[in-house]
Structure 1
Amino acid sequence: MSTVTAGTKALPQTVRRRRKADLPPWLNPPSLWVRALKALVITLIVITMLYPLVYVIAMSFASPAQARSGVVFPTEYSLDSYRVIFEGGTVTQGLRNSLWLTVVGTALSLAFTSMLAWGLSRTKEVPGAKAVLIMVLATMFFSAGIIPNYLLIKAFGLIDSLWSLIIPGLISAFNMIVIRNFFMNLPAELIEAARIDGAGEWRIFLQIVLPLSKPVLAVMALFYAVGYWNTYFNALLYINDAERWPIQVVLQQYVLAGVTIPGSVPVADQPPPPPGITLQMAVIVLATVPILIVYPFLQRYFTKGVLTGAIKG
């Protein structure tokens, strides 16, 4: 009978097979056809997800002739769509508004969220911290509604102001909880040593706590940035001036509502403008690609930042 070496003892082949049969199915190594099926399914999922993105980018660069012919995937490319968009000014203004909103909103939200999280993480030292924590948690389950929020924004004179898209959602309760839990996992001995050396709360927070919290802060910054960049519904409610629309509202107007993009109307004695499909795809690319560029730089912080801040509370 053939044998195999297992640790320091030689076991018969039949015993080894019996042990494999006694294991649960998910602990046994998959067979060749199972691995092939998994590879096929993953490949199909990747193709299904990547094809629309590649198609949109390729069509935004398609030459006018191929775009009008209705080809599935263009082979001739042109920059006319982007030239018309940037010359029109509306999309460019929307990009500037979204960029300002994302940078300023993310910086302020991260600053105020981290300060609140640090204060609520010292429940034994800060009077009333538990009561404030309960009030913050209550906002995750109860909301005033659209009309009261609109009346509040109007009462503060924030209609047609980009600040109306920042101040109401300045602090996310969920993000605050994750950062707070991360702060609570920091070594208490380190904080006590800093206090013994004469460091005050602000110095401890700025020079010790924040540098040690880069992973969770990077993840929360990405969450806030994506939220501000994709702001649409609140902008539709509070912003009436087209000059202050963020790029997502501009995208909705040109792609879904069918509003004509400036520069896309034929003019006598001028070359014909690019087809509407290439202009719409170019607007989609400009509204999507910037946030995709930022994501890979912060992806490595996801596991360490989110899990460490969410396991213990």
Structure 2
Amino acid sequence: MVRDRSLSARAWNVGLIAAMALAAFASLAPIIHTTAVSLSNSAAAAGGFITFWPKGFNFESYRKIIEDPHFGNAFLVSTKRVLLGGVVNFVLTVLMAYPLSRGPREFRARHYYMWFVLFTMLFSGGIIPLYLVVKYMGMFNSLWALVLPGAVPVFNVVLLMNFFRNLPKELGEAGLIDGAGPWYMLVRIFVPLSLPAIATVTLFSIVGHWNAFFDGLIFMRSVENYPLQTYIQQLVVQLPPEYMDSTNMDLLDKMSDKTLNAAKIMVSMIPILAVYPFLQRYFIHGIMLGSVKE
């Protein structure tokens, strides 16, 4: 392959690299700024003097996070929610997407179920009916209240269904000729070939469960059962009273509600930042779900 060494080609490459670097910086800037705020003293953070480098460098906010039992408990609740909710979403999404991807000859009632699924994407019962259902099922203050209402993410079902439909039909026909049943073809053929799509929808589910806060706010009755994002949302307005002791002036000088909340936001981002690189190689392929037609 002969590379184009002309001046215009080199200028285009430089411009492209500069644009990509600018886009990368724009994506990282909020994270860098939040990190700088979390490591600064209260006066600099309150005055808005922090950009991308901390002022009055200290780790007091992170020390308080380690000492806060409610934060650790909320982190554990969110971890349990992601693990349980991710498994439930994965199983139900695959079990719903596979039959809906079959043709009318294999699944005669497919169109009726498909319209039912699409209807739930456009309309919902609302918050009050959802609240009453959770209440009368006795799921208040339970982890199931955070998992079951969103057990079947319809958008993920549609994405995975389209991916299944774009797999070669000859695979299914060959399996039928060899005597393979629907369960065998799903587990041994379709799921292994659909790892990029499954990883993509799984990443959507994980991020959705980890970032959700409103359901924890309305379904949980005690701070011990709050997921992490609900607990952080409750701390946005004010610093916990135990930190506002007027006798502890040295602590108030190093830390404020702004620096403490910034530190908690940074800690809450760590699990997603740790998981994403492992799913990124699948995500790049899975993002093009259904883009290639047979």
Same-fold call, TM > 0.5?
yes
Counterpart of 1:307 in 2: which secondary structure?
A: coil
1:209 is matched with 190
Q: CA deviation at 1:155?
A: 1.5
Cα distance in 2 between the residues matched to 1:307 and 1:56: 32
- 1:58 is aligned, of 29, 32, 36, to 36
**Judging changes above 3 Å, is the alpha-carbon distance between structure 1 residues 187 and 71 closer, same or farther for their aligned structure 2 residues?**
same
In structure 2, the residue matched to 1:282 is 263
Choose 1 or 2 for highest CA Rg: 1
Residue 166 (str. 1) matches residue 141 (str. 2): no
Provide the residue aligned with 2:54 in structure 1: 74
Does residue 138 in structure 1 map to residue 137 in structure 2? Answer: no
Asked whether the 8 Å contact 1:216–1:305 carries over to 2, the reply is yes
Q: Distance in 2 between matches of 1:281 and 1:269?
A: 21
**Residue 85 of structure 2 is aligned to residue 105 of structure 1:** yes
User: Which residue type is aligned with residue 203 of structure 1?
Assistant: Y
Q: Using the alignment, how far apart are the partners of 2:172 and 2:136 within structure 1?
A: 43
Matched, 1:121 2:86: no
Amino acid at match of 2:30: P
Q: Secondary structure at the match of 1:218?
A: helix
Give 2:227's aligned residue: 246
Tell me the CA shift for residue 142 of structure 1. Answer: 1.2
State the identity as a percent.
35
Give 5+ residue unaligned stretches, structure 1. 1-28
Quick one: structure 1 residues 38 and 303, their matched pair in 2 at CA, closer, same or farther if it must change by over 3 Å?
A: closer
Write out per-residue CA displacement over residues 178-230 of structure 1, whole angstroms, 9 at most, x where no aligned residue.
11111112222222322333322212111211111100000001111111011
**Does the Cα contact within 8 Å between 1:254 and 1:261 map onto a contact in 2?**
no
Once residues 103 and 261 of structure 1 are traced to their aligned partners in structure 2, the CA distance between those partners, rounded to angstroms, is 33
Give the 3 Å change call, closer, same or farther, for CA 201–44 of structure 1 in structure 2: closer
CA shift digits 1:207-266 (9 cap, x unpaired): 2111111000000011111110111122222222211111111111112x214175x344
1:102 and 1:228 in contact (8 A); partners too: yes
Q: Aligned residue for 2:214? A: 233
**Contact 1:218/1:301 (<8 A) preserved:** yes
Provide structure 2 residue ranges, at least 5 long, that are not aligned to the other structure: 1-7
CA change 1:38–1:135 in 2 (3 A) is same
Trace 1:21-36 onto structure 2 (pairs within 5 A).
none
C-alpha change, 1:281 and 1:129, in structure 2 (3 Å) is same
Q: Does 1:218 align with 2:218?
A: no
**Match for residue 157 of structure 1?**
138
Match of 1:295 in 2: 276
Whole-angstrom CA distance in 1 between matches of 2:115 and 2:59: 54
User: In the TM superposition, what are the counterparts of 1:74-93 in structure 2 within 5 Å?
Assistant: 74=54, 77-93=57-73
Partners of 1:216 and 1:309 within 8 A in 2: no
For the residue of structure 2 that corresponds to 1:106, the secondary structure is: helix
- Using a 3 Å threshold, how does the CA distance of structure 1 residues 58 and 259 change in structure 2: closer, same or farther? closer
CA drift at 1:35: 8.1
Aligned residues: 282
SS of match in other structure, 2:152: coil
**Partners of 1:37 and 1:261 in 2: CA distance:** 52
What is residue 96 of structure 1 aligned with on the other side? 76
